Amino acid sequence: MQTKLSIRSKKLKTEILIKKDYISKFIKIIAKKNEKVFCFLDSKININLKSNEQKNIKIIIIRCGEKIKTLEKYKVLSEKLIKNNVNRKSAIIAIGGGSLGDLVGFVASTVLRGLDFFLIPTTLLSQVDSSIGGKNGVNTLYGKNLLGTFYQPKQVLIDISVLNTLSKKEIKSGYAEIIKHALIKDYSFFCWLEKNTDKLFDLDKSILEKAIYKSIMIKLLYVEKDEKEILSNNDSRAMLNFGHTIGHAIESHYNYKKFNHGEAISIGIITEAKISNYLGLLSSYELERIIKHFKKCRLETFDNILKSKVLIKKIIKDKKNFLNNINFSLIDKIGNSIFYKKLNKEKVFKILKKI
Ligand SMILES: NC(=O)c1ccc[n+]([C@@H]2O[C@H](COP(=O)([O-])OP(=O)(O)OC[C@H]3O[C@@H](n4cnc5c(N)ncnc54)[C@H](O)[C@@H]3O)[C@@H](O)[C@H]2O)c1
Ligand SMILES: [Zn+2]
CATH number for position 323: 1.20.1090.10
Among candidate residues 73, 144, 185, 244, the one labeled active-site is 244
Q: Say whether both 153 and 184 belong to one domain.
A: no
- One domain for residues 70 and 189: no
pLDDT at site 52: 56
Q: Is the pLDDT of residue 206 over 90?
A: yes
Q: Is 261 part of the annotated catalytic residue set? A: yes
Do 158 and 272 share a domain, yes or no? no
163 HSE (CA, 13 A, CB side): 29
Q: Is 337 in the pocket of ligand 1 (CB under 6 A)?
A: no
The answer to whether residues 189 and 135 belong to one domain is: no
304 Cβ contact partners less than 8 Å away, ≥ 6 residues apart = none
> Are 197 and 306 members of one domain?
yes
Q: CATH number, domain at 44?
A: 3.40.50.1970
Query: pLDDT digits over 309-328, tens only?
Result: 999 989 987 777 776 789 99
Active-site hit among 170, 209, 229, 272: 229
CA dihedral 38, 134, 224, 160 (to 10 degrees): 70
Catalytic, 244? Answer yes
345: domain range?
168-354
Report whether residue 73 contacts ligand 1, using a CB cutoff of 6 Å: no
pLDDT at 285: 98
Whether residues 208 and 131 fall in one domain? no
Q: Is the CB of 335 under 6 A from ligand 1?
A: no
98 lines ligand 1 (CB under 6 A): yes
Residue 1 within a domain: no
Pairing status of strand 14-18 against strand 90-96: unpaired
pLDDT at 53: 62
Q: Are residues 141 and 235 in the same domain?
A: no
- How far away, in angstroms, is 176 Cα from ligand 2 center? 8
Q: Are residues 139 and 123 in the same domain?
A: yes
Last residue of a domain, one of 163, 185, 208: 163
Domain count, the chain: 2
Q: Is 199 exposed, middle or buried (0-12, 13-18, 19+ CB in 10 A)?
A: middle
- Residue 318 CA, ligand 2 centroid: distance in Å: 13
Residue 304 lies in a domain: yes
113 is catalytic: yes
Check if 245 has its Cβ closer than 6 Å to any atom of ligand 1.
Answer: no
**Tens digit of each residue's pLDDT (9 = 90 or more) over 207-266:** 999 999 999 999 999 999 999 999 989 999 999 999 999 999 999 999 999 999 999 999
Q: What is the 3-state secondary structure (H, E, C) of the chain?
A: CCCCCEEEECCCCEEEEECCCCHHHHHHHHHHHCCEEEEEEECCCCCCCCCHHHCCEEEEEECCCHHHCCHHHHHHHHHHHHHCCCCCCEEEEEEECHHHHHHHHHHHHHHHHCCEEEEEECCHHHHHHHCCCCECCEEECCEEEEECCECCCCEEEECHHHHHHCCHHHHHHHHHHHHHHHHHHCHHHHHHHHHHHHHHHCCCHHHHHHHHHHHHHHHHHHHHHCCCCCCCCCCCHHHHHCCHHHHHHHHHHCCCCCCCHHHHHHHHHHHHHHHHHHCCCCCHHHHHHHHHHHHHCCCCCCCHHHHCCHHHHHHCCCCCCECCEEEEEEEEECCEEEEEEEEEHHHHHHHHHHC
From the list 113, 168, 195, 257, the catalytic residue is 113
Q: Is 219 a catalytic residue?
A: yes
Residues 297 and 241 placed together within one structural domain of the fold: yes
Q: What pLDDT score was predicted for residue 4?
A: 64
Of 143, 163, 183, at which residue does a domain stop? 163
Q: Choose, from 73, 210, 214, 237, the residue flagged as catalytic.
A: 237
| Residue, of 52 and 114, whose pLDDT is higher | 114
Q: Which ligand 1 atom is nearest residue 165's CA?
A: 32
- Cα separation, 235 vs 240, in Å, equals 10
Same domain, 115 and 97: yes
**One domain, residues 191 and 275:** yes
Looking at the fold, whether 121 and 176 belong to one and the same domain comes out as: no
Nearest to 276 by CA among 345, 331, 315, 335: 331
Ligand 1 pocket residue status of 152, Cβ below 6 Å: no
Residue 66 placed within a domain: yes
Residue 189 in domain: yes
Last residue of a domain, one of 109, 130, 163: 163
Does any domain span residue 300?
Answer: yes
Q: Is residue 322 part of a domain?
A: yes
